Structure 1
């Protein structure tokens, strides 16, 4: 089986590529390394093509003969989309269209990554796929457009497709030390360095934190069984923890109290997020989530190794 993973040198993509190779799949990674890292693929037998999803010919060539295409390439983060909406749109929407056209030409099954941010600020919990979407950021709007394109290709061109809405995915390979870093690695990085954890707002905002290993299990199963669905599917398991809960868990894991500094809430951020996992469990009944505490423990270990390697490089 041949699978193309766009954004395959990124956090989720590299974890997925490793799992697909473990399952005996031939993997082509298409990544321009704008947010991914070549080192994420160290020790994995994949073919890496250093190209953007906006490069039509490169996408077409990579997808030729593919059985499935997993489209993870994106400009991530709400704050980044606020800073440069056009670039976010170009990659997240136009890039998705290029991938869909290439998958259609190859007659390949396609998996598209969307985001829980498409639900916006609706107070209704949990978020079910039948809810009206009310995106409140350029990033969320682009993700909604991307998933709409994918499902329209399935309807119009019989392109077998699965669209997943990711909910705050975290775990090993997710980089902590950059301006748009996600909250879990940022908190761990600051805690390990003895710095205060930066919280935007009061910390009572809540998220359905999802370990990358669980996400990868679903995506790999989706690819190998060529699962398709006529509507988007939440890829999360219906848990909900506040940032204050997260800080308390990290403090317990590290065995000490953590300093916190509060900043004003950010534009485009959603107050509460929690998935309805009914559709996911119907399609993938065997996949079990990793409990938050265990997942945080594994992530802390990885960030510690990253920190030690950074120290080693700086003193070499």
Structure 2
């Protein structure tokens, strides 16, 4: 089985490449990445065919998709704040980029396409739990681009018979997620700050909650979807309803690191969703054996990975 991963040098993509490389049915892994947010270092030691380029290059996609069996489309410009700052860049990379991938998949013989959407599409809809049939209410340009991504997958399934599966990711975290850039996700950012004695910056009062999903769990579901060729044109939440308030995340990080976090509250970010918690009913129907990694276990693995690149800081031990 030959798999193409767009955005495969990024956080989730490189973890997926590692997961797939351990399975004997996967005979070839091709990675497309323009390295705007990913890094070739993430793929060190993996037997992958790396293609440097952009998903908006139709000829490059045709070359990469030739002879493939399935595509996992993860390439995107992530981050809500980034999209607020530059909405056109997010639209071109995420919405137009997805359209290019789907067209190339169609030209290659209607390949199976699994793609990443986001829980951010629920936006201002206050209802918990978030089930996939809720009205979407995007609060940021990024959320709009992800809604376009999953809508295009559904449209190509119904218009052209393309076998598709759009996943709504919920706050994926774990080893390989960088903390050293302006749009870093909350878990690596806070772990890094705690390990180095820097303040943990909390946007707003910290009562906002997230449904954190360990990257290994997400990759195992993606692998299962590929091997069983799971097709579902409706979006599927890839999360398990494990809601955690950010204020409760801080002591969990302190326990995982062994160091005390210094808190600093700052202004609420534009486009931030207040509460996020998945209804996993559809996920469990399609993937009945999928089980989440507990937050404590996931944080420990993330701390171990981040800690290898963080040293020499003065830290205050939790007593």
Task: State TM-score, norm by structure 2.
Answer: 0.95
- 1:43 maps to 45
Q: Which residue of 63, 66, 79 corresponds with 1:64? A: 66
Instruction: Find the residue that maps to 1:130 and give its secondary structure.
Output: coil
Deviation of the 1:308 alpha carbon: 4.6
Instruction: Find the residue that maps to 1:184 and give its secondary structure.
Output: helix
Deviation of the 1:230 alpha carbon: 2.6
Q: Provide, for residues 160-188 of structure 1, a one-character-per-residue CA deviation record: whole Å limited to 9, x for no partner.
A: 00000000000000000110000000000
Is 2:199 aligned against 1:182?
no
Q: In the aligned structure 2, how far is the partner of 1:22 from the partner of 1:103?
A: 25
Structure 2 counterparts to residues 203-218 of structure 1, below 5 A: 203-218=206-221
- 1:54 maps to 56
- 2:300 maps to 297
Is 2:228 aligned against 1:230?
no
Pairs aligned (count): 310
Q: Which residue of 123, 128, 137 corresponds with 1:125? A: 128
- 1:34 maps to 36
Deviation of the 1:305 alpha carbon: 1.0
- 2:222 maps to 219
Instruction: Find the residue that maps to 2:224 and give its secondary structure.
Output: helix
Q: In the aligned structure 2, how far is the partner of 1:216 from the partner of 1:256?
A: 30
Q: Can you give the 5+ residue segments of structure 1 that lack an aligned partner in the other structure?
A: 310-316
Q: In the aligned structure 2, how far is the partner of 1:147 from the partner of 1:186?
A: 28
- 2:8 maps to 8
Instruction: Find the residue that maps to 1:177 and give its secondary structure.
Output: coil
- 1:90 maps to 92
Instruction: Find the residue that maps to 1:15 and give its secondary structure.
Output: helix
Q: Can you give the 5+ residue segments of structure 2 that lack an aligned partner in the other structure?
A: 313-319
- 1:146 maps to 149
Deviation of the 1:86 alpha carbon: 0.3
Q: In the aligned structure 2, how far is the partner of 1:59 from the partner of 1:85?
A: 24
- 2:20 maps to 20
Deviation of the 1:258 alpha carbon: 1.3
Deviation of the 1:253 alpha carbon: 2.2
Q: Provide, for residues 11-55 of structure 1, a one-character-per-residue CA deviation record: whole Å limited to 9, x for no partner.
A: 000000111111131100000000001000000000000001111
Which is richer in helix?
1
Instruction: Find the residue that maps to 2:178 and give its secondary structure.
Output: coil
Q: In the aligned structure 1, how far is the partner of 2:264 from the partner of 2:8?
A: 35
- 1:264 maps to 267
Larger mean CA deviation between 100-109 and 9-18 belongs to: 100-109
- 1:313 maps to none
Q: Which residue of 272, 285, 290 corresponds with 2:288? A: 285
Task: State TM-score, norm by structure 1.
Answer: 0.96
Q: Provide, for residues 83-127 of structure 1, a one-character-per-residue CA deviation record: whole Å limited to 9, x for no partner.
A: 110010000000000100111112210001000000011110010
Instruction: Find the residue that maps to 1:281 and give its secondary structure.
Output: helix
Q: Which residue of 73, 76, 82 corresponds with 2:75? A: 73
